[in-house]
Structure 1
């Protein structure tokens, strides 16, 4: 089952000719989401071929570089005769502002748009095999991060062992794999733990939005397959990062290292670094043993299962 993210906007508060304001598209099989929606997001969606079939937008906070793309995107969806509901999730107290953005043109969209406030610890979205959770971050305004966390998957079924125990090929295999014991013709009862391995972990994708380095991210990103973390500044602006509620590349690397994440993507890169992110890459790699990515707009990252299957 595929999971991938496309970086639609990777700039800090001020866009550059190469980097759009913050937005990230995530697709998990047939489900598609946006995490933040900066100015120009809809054009980036067209440019990089994601399409507009998103059902949920997860807003980390309501600074302009993270939400000013919402009015245009909603209007385009309306022009395209969308009828499916759209859910927008935002931090506590920000619902009125998001609703004003939706109605910025003076006309309400013809399809339902529902705004939900989520606090740290809340499950913003629950589906059969995964959920999207909000967690605490620390910025200059009310903000949250989001973690898409899959449920554990079933353990591997040992067909050879099942046949050795006399289980006939057929429906009883499925029963055992579903966790139910089965009875053989001779009255022997075979339990699932005799033929099914330990549960296998699902995938975990974490998006911080803008934040200082905080312990809550370490917890949310424990063994994350991909952590997308604020790295607005390199170490030369560490003091400025703290003053403005952001992180340096080193601090992002330290968080990823503490969390045991597999891959770290640095984003929200300040325009002062233009096209040269050498310091970011070097500093993050010194702090983090895993793979460091500094994505450009349009880059897509596949998120495989931890066991490769």
Structure 2
């Protein structure tokens, strides 16, 4: 089942000619989710071919580089005669401000827009086979990060063992795989655990938004397949990172290590690094044991299952 991340915007507060403000698009088997929407997000969605069928928007905080793209995006959806509702999730205490932004210039979308306040530990969105959870971050305003966590999958079905036990090929295989025992013609009962392996983990994507390095991210992440972490500054501006409630690349890498992440994507890069991101990558790789990258706008990452032969 495909799980794809498209980086719509990887810049810090000030956009550059190469990087748009924050925006992360996630597609999972027909579900399309948007995390933050800096100015120009709708153009990035057109540019990189994601389309506008987003059903859920997850806002980390209400700084302009994370939300100023919402009015234009919703207006474009309206012009395209959208009828499907959309939900926007935002930190506790920010609903009124976000509603004002959505209705800027007296714009009233013709489709339903639901604004949902969430906080640390809340399940912002529950879907079939996965959920999106909010977790606490450490920024200079009300803020959260988000973890997309898939449910465990069924264990592998051992067809050879089932046949050895006398289970006929057919519906009884499916019944066992669903967790129900079956009775054979001779009265023998075969239990699911005799032919089905242990549950297999799903995939996890964690997006911090803007934050200082914090243990809350480690707790929320718990061995994510992809950690998308604030890396606004390189180590030459570590003091500035602390003052402005951001992280450096090496700090993000340390969090990734402690969380047991497989991959780390460094985003929200300050415009002062517009000419080069080599220091970010070098500093992260010196700390992080997994695969680190500094994605450009438009880059995509496919997230395989941990048992990637599936």
TM-score relative to the length of structure 2: 0.99
Q: Displacement, 1:142?
A: 0.5
Instruction: Give matches, 1:99-248, under 5 Å.
Output: 99-248=99-248
Q: Displacement, 1:223?
A: 1.0
Q: Displacement, 1:105?
A: 2.1
Q: Displacement, 1:156?
A: 0.4
Q: Displacement, 1:3?
A: 0.4
Q: Could you give the per-residue CA deviations for residues 144-201 of structure 1, whole angstroms, max 9, x where no partner exists?
A: 0000000000000000000000001111101100011111111111111110001000
Give the distance between the partners of 1:71 and 1:24, measured in 2 at CA: 17
Q: Displacement, 1:139?
A: 0.1
- Residue 97 of structure 1 corresponds to 97
- Residue 15 of structure 2 corresponds to 15
SS at match of 2:205: strand
Q: Displacement, 1:219?
A: 1.2
Give the distance between the partners of 1:171 and 1:50, measured in 2 at CA: 39
- Residue 267 of structure 1 corresponds to 267
SS at match of 1:37: coil
Q: Does 1:37 align with 2:19?
A: no
Q: Displacement, 1:128?
A: 1.6
Gap runs ≥5 in structure 2: none
- Residue 250 of structure 2 corresponds to 250
TM-score relative to the length of structure 1: 0.99
Give the distance between the partners of 1:184 and 1:274, measured in 2 at CA: 68
Give the distance between the partners of 1:217 and 1:174, measured in 2 at CA: 39
- Residue 3 of structure 1 corresponds to 3
Give the distance between the partners of 1:107 and 1:21, measured in 2 at CA: 23
Give the distance between the partners of 2:193 and 2:106, measured in 1 at CA: 60
Q: Displacement, 1:220?
A: 1.3
SS at match of 2:25: strand
Give the distance between the partners of 1:83 and 1:56, measured in 2 at CA: 14
Q: Displacement, 1:277?
A: 0.7
